[in-house]
């Protein structure tokens, strides 16, 4: 495909980003794209991004790749990677435009999309390794998609002990301590992104001029956790606690988080807007009567168990039937007595 390089959109460690305009109309390509370009000798990151995107395949929550090519500019051979163009920039840009923070209803919606993207990436056997607001792009319909796969890797692949991936403020304890980059590190970074969407500030209280080594010590050693915003709902705080588990084996997965109330309920302002699935399609509805609630499938249970307040969310969310499990928590074994007719009231 022939294309023309347009205005500069930004710069990165890999090179530059420009608008790309196809020379001829084609139904296979959009009228505007973004092209990442780098001198061929320094294009290993972009080539890794192309390879990962090809293997991960299509997902509505992941930026699409339209191919790559080479060009010669100012006598140098340049590698070009053609991608979807996001007209609204990154989530970091949106936070700045909205007085340094987003509404919780928007944070819930964006977070759900990010989890879906991560679930797809992890299911395909890959780890993004650099989830942060700057790497999440916002499109015309206010959709968000995960981008920048230059540091992504195949899950399980060993790497040099000297190799470091990602952004320090988003790094997980196991990445700092053991140089381990597997799917749980993306979940930790997701939690950091949620904090930043809510507050406009990094999850760790760390000034740019401060010693980076001290930050890594705080992340990797001891019991200190990232800041959990006080203005966040109880569901949001619990969601973050599932992301900020020091032990990666106990940290919740993307699949588990997708059933958490923080994202399986899209708050429409009054808390009554539910998100449910019908086949592969998601439907948002506001119940107008007791009979218009989503049709959740029940799970058979041989016994009623008592659940402590601390483990309430954990047991509630291990299945996708959030609503029915919530009702079970309120149910008891005592049956009503219908024999006392004196307390009955006649109605017409």
**Which residues are known catalytic residues?**
130
Q: In this structure, what DSSP letter does residue 7 have?
A: E
Asked if 248 contacts 184 with a C-beta cutoff of 8 angstroms, the reply is yes
Beta-carbon neighbour count of residue 5 at 10 Å?
16
Which stretches of the chain are DSSP H helices? Answer: 44-56, 91-97, 104-123, 173-178, 183-199, 212-220, 234-243, 254-257, 261-264, 312-317, 322-330
Whole-angstrom distance, CA of residue 203 vs CA of residue 226: 5
Q: Helix 234-243 to helix 104-123 angle, to the nearest 10 degrees?
A: 30
> Which of 125, 120, 63, 112 has its CA nearest to residue 277?
112
Helix (H, G, I), strand (E, B) or coil at 188: helix
Whole-angstrom distance, CA of residue 45 vs CA of residue 39: 11
Asked if 255 contacts 119 with a C-beta cutoff of 8 angstroms, the reply is yes
Angle at 314 between CA 143 and CA 101, to 5 degrees: 35
Kindly provide the b/e burial profile for residues 242-261, where b requires at least 16 CB atoms within 10 angstroms of the residue's own CB.
Answer: bbbbbebeebbbbebbbbbb
Q: Pull the structure tokens for residue 298.
A: 């029940």
Q: The tokens 């499938």 sit on which residue?
A: 297
């Amino acid at each position: 495909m022939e294309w023309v390089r347009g205005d500069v959109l930004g710069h990165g460690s890999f090179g530059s980003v420009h608008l790309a305009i196809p020379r001829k109309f084609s139904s296979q390509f959009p009228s505007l794209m973004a092209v990442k370009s780098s001198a061929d000798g320094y294009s290993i990151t972009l080539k890794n991004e192309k390879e990962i995107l090809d293997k991960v395949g299509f997902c509505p929550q992941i930026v699409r790749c339209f191919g790559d090519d080479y060009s010669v500019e100012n006598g140098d051979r340049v590698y070009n990677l053609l991608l979807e163009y996001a007209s609204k920039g990154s989530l970091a840009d949106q936070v700045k435009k909205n007085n340094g923070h987003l509404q919780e209803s928007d944070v819930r919606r964006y977070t759900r999309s990010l989890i879906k993207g991560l679930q797809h990436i992890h299911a395909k056997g890959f780890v993004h390794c650099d989830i942060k607001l700057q790497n999440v792009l916002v499109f015309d319909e206010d959709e968000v998609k995960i981008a920048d796969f230059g540091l992504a890797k195949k899950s399980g692949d060993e790497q040099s002990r000297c190799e470091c991936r990602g952004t320090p403020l988003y790094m997980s304890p196991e990445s700092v301590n053991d140089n381990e980059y597997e799917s749980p590190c993306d979940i930790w970074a997701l939690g950091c992104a949620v904090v930043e969407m809510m507050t406009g500030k990094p999850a760790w209280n760390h000034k740019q001029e401060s010693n980076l080594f001290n930050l890594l010590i705080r992340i990797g050693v001891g019991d200190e956790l990232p800041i959990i915003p006080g203005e966040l709902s109880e569901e949001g705080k619990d969601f973050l606690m599932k992301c900020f588990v020091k032990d990666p084996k106990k940290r919740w997965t993307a699949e588990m988080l997708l059933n958490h109330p923080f994202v399986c309920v899209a708050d429409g302002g009054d808390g009554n807007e539910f998100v449910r699935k019908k086949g592969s399609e998601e439907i948002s509805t506001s119940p107008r009567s007791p009979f218009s609630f989503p049709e959740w499938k029940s799970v058979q249970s041989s016994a009623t168990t008592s659940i402590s307040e601390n483990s309430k969310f954990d047991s509630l969310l291990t299945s996708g039937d959030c609503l029915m499990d919530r009702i079970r928590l309120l149910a008891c074994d005592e049956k009503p007595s219908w024999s006392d007719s004196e307390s009955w009231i006649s109605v017409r």
